[in-house]
């Protein structure tokens, strides 16, 4: 088993140029739009369930099957990510980076145009399932591909900032989805939403996604891959085979960090609005507004953590960031019942501290050599997210059965894991 490459090597000192900022901006914008396309489904799951399944079906079964279609996107992530990463290591980062957003935009647009169950029967949910699987394959290639793409474009001393900025774009996509759902439900009454308005977010997402495909035409292949290509130093065998055989320690490290990342996003950002309503008595509008504020602070926190990894190292960033997240999460979940008026500042602070996940890709892109970087990162990230992203809601739900502080316990436990990883990285510096 090979050791993880040194993450503290002295980086080149070149400053970021206008082209670097253009690459970061276009990459983050595309990532935000792609994540919006992937997440918008969940905001309209109830309406979609009523339209794409038989009306006589029990409500619980309809919702279960609708979320099953949503989950299919997560299950497709590992396969899509591995396949796209394979060709990304052999044919180029830019090609796969552009293909991923195309494969997300087209299904999203088609979802907004699909006939319903009343029009074409069982073909409606089957078509929806197929499009969702394509979306999952696309997002499986987009996230790792985007991290690799920006990391290989900027000087080594700015890799953390670049990856943090890209991660902030992905989280901003969640906010866009939340704001769009709020806007549609504000402009139209429930009958209008079910009749036609539910289609608008999908069509808008598809159109803007195709526009982002056009914008990515202006991006250039990464200098790192271009050099590998020029030196004819591309992978001599299947990249994933090399990853599994020679870089197991890097895979384990990356999977553990992905677990930390998934805990922050799934628990604090995606699950907590429902917990605020069911466990703390907040109405839906207030919970969603607070959630939007938390996502906004998370976006900034990702950039700060990435820059911190550049300046102070990944080890110190994870040690300090994990402790801050544990403290803020405990305060948030334990103090809200006694002080409901603290909701917005406490949720914003916790969202900011979740931003420690912005340093995760910094470690992952530097844990694998360039020749198999895309495959190594994609395999580790997507496999871990499929496992932990899927198990986390069930684990938290089980904890909630025994204690209303279940989300806090889970987040703090994963902060312990983040702290352990940080100490491990610090020990490697000595």
Same domain for 44 and 164, yes or no, is yes
Q: Is residue 320 part of a domain?
A: yes
Q: State residue 109's pLDDT score.
A: 94
What domain range includes position 273?
236-430
Domain limit, last residue, from 234, 262, 293: 234
Domain limit, last residue, from 234, 257, 285: 234
Rounded to whole angstroms, the Cα distance separating 159 from 150 reads 8
Q: State residue 254's pLDDT score.
A: 93
Q: Is residue 6 part of a domain?
A: no
Q: State residue 1's pLDDT score.
A: 41
Q: State residue 8's pLDDT score.
A: 35
Domain limit, last residue, from 179, 206, 234: 234
Same domain for 249 and 322, yes or no, is yes
Q: State residue 230's pLDDT score.
A: 63
Q: Which residues of 83-118 are buried (b: 16+ CB within 10 A; e: fewer)?
A: bbbbbbbbebbbebbbbbbbbbbbbbbbbbebebbe
Q: State residue 7's pLDDT score.
A: 39
Same domain for 221 and 267, yes or no, is no
Same domain for 209 and 257, yes or no, is no
- Residue pair 225/369 in contact (Cβ under 8 Å)? The answer is no
- Residue pair 41/70 in contact (Cβ under 8 Å)? The answer is yes
Phi-psi category of residue 369: left, alpha or beta, with phi > 0 → left and psi -120 to 50 → alpha: beta
180, containing H or E segment: helix 159-187
Give CA angle at 279 (275, 283), nearest 5°: 75
Same domain for 323 and 220, yes or no, is no
Same domain for 303 and 363, yes or no, is yes
CATH number at residue 396: 1.20.1250.20
Q: Is residue 221 part of a domain?
A: yes
Rounded to whole angstroms, the Cα distance separating 257 from 263 reads 10
Same domain for 376 and 428, yes or no, is yes
pLDDT in tens, 339-392: 999 999 999 999 999 999 999 999 999 999 888 888 888 889 988 888 887 678
Listed in order, strand segments (DSSP E) in 56-207 are none
Dmax (CA) of the chain: 66
Q: For residue 408, which of 264, 255, 258 has the smallest C-alpha distance? A: 264
Q: Is residue 12 part of a domain?
A: no
Same domain for 365 and 300, yes or no, is yes
Q: Is residue 13 part of a domain?
A: no
- Residue pair 253/367 in contact (Cβ under 8 Å)? The answer is yes
Q: State residue 3's pLDDT score.
A: 44
Same domain for 28 and 166, yes or no, is yes
- Residue pair 63/126 in contact (Cβ under 8 Å)? The answer is no
Q: State residue 9's pLDDT score.
A: 37
pTM of the model: 0.84
Same domain for 228 and 240, yes or no, is no
Same domain for 108 and 248, yes or no, is no
Identify the segments of the chain with pLDDT beneath 70: 1-14, 60, 63, 67, 92, 221-237, 390, 430
Q: Is residue 212 part of a domain?
A: yes
Rounded to whole angstroms, the Cα distance separating 85 from 392 reads 26
Q: Is residue 186 part of a domain?
A: yes
Q: State residue 300's pLDDT score.
A: 95
Same domain for 200 and 283, yes or no, is no
Q: Is residue 366 part of a domain?
A: yes
Q: State residue 142's pLDDT score.
A: 78
Domains of the chain: total: 2
């Amino acid at each position: 088993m090979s050791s993880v490459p040194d993450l503290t090597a002295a980086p080149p000192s070149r400053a970021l140029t206008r082209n670097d900022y253009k690459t970061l901006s276009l990459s983050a914008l595309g990532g935000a739009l792609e994540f919006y396309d992937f997440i918008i489904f969940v905001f309209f799951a109830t309406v979609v369930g009523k339209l794409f399944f038989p009306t006589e079906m029990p409500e619980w079964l309809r919702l279960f099957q609708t979320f099953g279609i949503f989950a299919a996107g997560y299950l497709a992530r590992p396969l899509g990510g591995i396949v796209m990463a394979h060709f990304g290591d052999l044919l180029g980062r830019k090609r796969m980076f552009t293909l991923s957003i195309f494969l997300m935009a087209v299904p999203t647009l088609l979802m907004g145009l699909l006939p319903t169950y009343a029009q074409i029967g069982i073909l409606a949910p089957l078509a929806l399932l197929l499009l969702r699987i394509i979306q999952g394959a696309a997002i499986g290639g987009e996230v790792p591909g985007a991290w690799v793409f920006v990391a290989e474009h900027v000087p080594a001393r700015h890799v953390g900032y670049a990856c943090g900025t890209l991660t902030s774009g992905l989280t901003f996509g969640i906010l866009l989805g939340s704001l769009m759902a709020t806007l549609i439900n504000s402009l139209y009454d429930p009958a209008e939403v079910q009749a036609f308005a539910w289609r608008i977010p999908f069509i808008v997402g598809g159109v803007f996604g195709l526009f982002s495909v056009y914008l990515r035409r202006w991006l250039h292949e990464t200098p790192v891959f271009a050099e590998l290509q020029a030196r004819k130093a591309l992978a001599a065998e299947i990249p994933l085979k090399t990853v599994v055989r020679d870089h197991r320690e890097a895979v384990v490290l990356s999977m553990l960090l992905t677990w930390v990342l998934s805990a922050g996003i799934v628990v604090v950002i995606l699950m907590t609005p429902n917990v605020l309503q069911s466990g703390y008595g907040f109405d839906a509008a207030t919970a969603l507004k607070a959630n939007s504020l938390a996502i906004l602070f998370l976006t900034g926190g990702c950039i700060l953590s990435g820059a911190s990894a550049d300046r102070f190292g990944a080890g110190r960033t994870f040690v300090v960031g994990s402790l801050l997240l544990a403290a803020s999460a405990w305060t948030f979940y334990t103090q809200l019942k006694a002080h409901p008026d603290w909701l917005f500042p406490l949720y914003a602070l916790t969202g900011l501290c979740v931003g420690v996940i912005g340093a995760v890709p910094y470690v992952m892109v530097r844990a694998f050599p360039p020749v198999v970087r895309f495959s190594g990162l994609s395999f580790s990230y997507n496999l871990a997210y499929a496992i932990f992203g899927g198990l986390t809601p069930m684990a938290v739900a089980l904890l909630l059965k025994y204690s209303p502080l279940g989300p806090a316990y889970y987040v703090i436990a994963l902060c312990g894991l983040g702290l352990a990883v940080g100490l491990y990285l610090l020990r490697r510096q000595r």
